[in-house]
Structure 1
Amino acid sequence: MSEPTTAEMLIALRETHRNLPYRESWAFFDELRVGTGFGHGSEQSMDAFAIALWPSKHWASHAYEIKTSRADFTRELRTPVKRRPALRYSNLFWFVTPEGLVKPEEVPIEAGLIEVRWRGGGYPRREDWFTDIVLQAPWRDIPPPTWNLFASVARRVHRLENGHGES
């Protein structure tokens, strides 16, 4: 059996949010830029971002950084500034990896670890992958989102509503 691809891990994350109680209370975006335009870090993106849409859930936001290889994960550890925008906009920050790629003790203190695992059976299909929390991400209070992030989300929604895809 092969390891999950980035696309399969994104599907597993999206399905996790779809299967939560009150699934309409969450918005999920993959490859979400932290701003529009170029310069001042606007071109940086989060592999995935989810936000609770109800006040009762405190508008909790989750940022997900997908790592498919050991080299990619260790490179991320050497350049923590890369995850700064995701930490800025999320109450919970997660590394998402194939099963067994990262040990919980290797995960930085500000992050959690989610593994994407295969349900078993025959040849794996995209829907056969699921997520498992290995290390709970710590809750962080964050400042309100910026207009840059709001514009990026609005642009994505506008494109989806007008049939232009998710890019």
Structure 2
Amino acid sequence: MKSSEICAALRDRYKQPEWALFFEVGSGTGANCRRHADALAMNMYPSRGLSIVGFEIKVSRGDLKRELENPVKAEEIARFCNEWFLAVPEGLIKDDDLIPAAWGVIECKDGRIWINKKAEQLKPQPITKQFMAAVLRAAGKVDEETFHAAINQERNECYKQYEENLKSQVEMQTKRLRETLKNYEQFEQLTGEKIGAYADVEGLAERWKLATNIKQLYGKYDGIKAVLRQAERFVDSTKKIIGEETTQTKEA
């Protein structure tokens, strides 16, 4: 598990309007900063004492052991807090780990957090201007890992959408190709014409145009039969005229 996943879970739990949550909060600013808390949450409800909760996020055994070997370092910021917690992946802490009695333990799994060990209520010191300046500075930052996690999530969603669109296009083009091949096979069966790599495409196109022109001509003049009937009437009329002229000549 990455620390960004725990940050995201903390953000989901300690959110507005009840809580204000900050990441990478220093004990002061400039040369006065000697220690950072991974996260700090302040309750915004006066009825709940405006309590401040500090968090140290640990995702590896080595990092956890180094923290437990020198827990006094946390006091630089824990002294301003009402509660102090270790925030870790589920199962990271072992039974033989010596957790300071005052510290609580929050575990995280699948984007959810829960309290495995309650923290003792501390007696916080009054907040100094230096510490307030550090909190305000943290308010304008987004922890880097969470930022990159958000970018990666957006990138993954874009890739997923691209893959879905690509799959849809491939399926559609494959379907069209199959339908086209089916039409080719049917055309070859009906005409006996083979459309292959060495087919006489130009000759086939000319024959197709000729057939189309005949069909258009047939439709335009109401069919070849109608044209034939007109020709027959013309011949009959011509014969009749010739016959009448012959009769008149004989009588004269």
Alignment TM-score, normalising by the size of structure 1: 0.78
Task: Supply the RMSD in Å over aligned alpha carbons.
Answer: 1.7
Following superposition, which runs of at least 4 residues in structure 1 exceed 4 angstroms of deviation? none
Alignment of 1:59-74 (within 5 A): 59-74=50-65
Q: Quick one: distance in 1 between partners of 2:142 and 2:108?
A: 23
Q: Quick one: distance in 1 between partners of 2:90 and 2:125?
A: 33
Q: Quick one: distance in 1 between partners of 2:84 and 2:96?
A: 16
More helix by share: 2
Would you say the 8 A contact 1:32–1:152 is kept in 2? yes
More strand by share: 1
Alignment of 1:14-163 (within 5 A): 14-18=11-15, 23-39=16-32, 42-103=33-94, 106=97, 107-118=99-110, 129-157=111-139, 160=140
Deviation at 1:32, TM superposition (A): 1.0
Tell me the number of residue pairs that the alignment of Structure 1 and Structure 2 aligns.
142
Would you say the 8 A contact 2:23–2:138 is kept in 1? no
Letter in 1 for 2:104: G
Letter in 1 for 2:108: V
Query: Per the alignment, in what secondary structure is the counterpart of residue 144 of structure 1?
Result: coil
Deviation at 1:86, TM superposition (A): 2.7
Deviation at 1:43, TM superposition (A): 4.0
Deviation at 1:137, TM superposition (A): 0.7
Q: Quick one: distance in 2 between partners of 1:143 and 1:83?
A: 14
Percent of paired sites with the same residue: 32
Structure-2 change in CA distance of 1:71 and 1:15 (3 Å) = same
**Structure 1: unaligned runs, 5 residues or longer:** 119-128
Deviation at 1:37, TM superposition (A): 0.7
Structure-2 change in CA distance of 1:86 and 1:69 (3 Å) = same
Answer with 1 or 2: which has the greater Rg. 2
Query: Per the alignment, in what secondary structure is the counterpart of residue 25 of structure 2?
Result: strand
Would you say the 8 A contact 2:71–2:100 is kept in 1? no
Instruction: Tell which has more relative contact order, 1 or 2 (C-alpha 8 A, sep 6+).
Output: 1
Q: Quick one: distance in 2 between partners of 1:104 and 1:27?
A: 33
Q: Quick one: distance in 2 between partners of 1:156 and 1:131?
A: 23
Deviation at 1:166, TM superposition (A): 3.6
**Structure 2: unaligned runs, 5 residues or longer:** 144-252
Deviation at 1:110, TM superposition (A): 1.3
The match for 2:201 is none
Letter in 1 for 2:83: L
Q: Quick one: distance in 2 between partners of 1:55 and 1:114?
A: 24
1:97-154 residue CA offsets vs partner (Å, 9 max, x unmatched) = 1110104673210100011112xxxxxxxxxx11011001111121211111111123
